[in-house]
Amino acid sequence: MSNEAKKANAFIKEVLARITGDNAEATANKIARKALCAVESQISGLKSQINDQEDVVADKAEALENAIYPKEAFENGKSYVAAVSAAYTAHEDAKECLEDLNTQLKFWVTTLENRF
């Protein structure tokens, strides 16, 4: 029996332990197929979001550098500090979002590997 089949059987056994009735096994198999598809879809979607967010982080890093080293003179120190501060915050927020997406991906991959 393949490793994937063993994992599916483990998931089905866990579901069967939670449900009863004449069609329990058929219901457990259906639940397992749908859950597996949902988790695989979630992983795929997260990978796509991570790819997009990596671009956002790079763009925000460039914007921060441009704010720190402006090409044009600024009116006063206050506007310079505000621009750098806003760019820094945007960059930090983008990195935090990327970190969150990676954490979610790790959770779903681990779930797929250990529960199915």
Report DSSP letters for the chain, one per residue. Answer: --HHHHHHHHHHHHHHTT--STTHHHHHHHHHHHHHHHHHHHHHHHHHHHHHHHHHHHHHHHHHHHHHS-SS--S-HHHHHHHHHHHHHHHHHHHHHHHHHHHHHHHHHHHHHHH-
Q: What is the pLDDT of residue 54?
A: 98
Q: What is the pLDDT of residue 31?
A: 93
Q: What is the pLDDT of residue 21?
A: 78
Q: What is the pLDDT of residue 19?
A: 86
Q: What is the pLDDT of residue 9?
A: 80
The rounded distance, in Å, linking the Cα atoms of 41 and 57 is 24
Q: What is the pLDDT of residue 6?
A: 61
Q: What is the pLDDT of residue 3?
A: 64
Number of domains in the chain: 1
Q: What is the pLDDT of residue 50?
A: 98
Q: What is the pLDDT of residue 4?
A: 62
User: Which residues of the chain register pLDDT less than 50?
Assistant: none
Q: Domain range holding 68?
A: 3-115
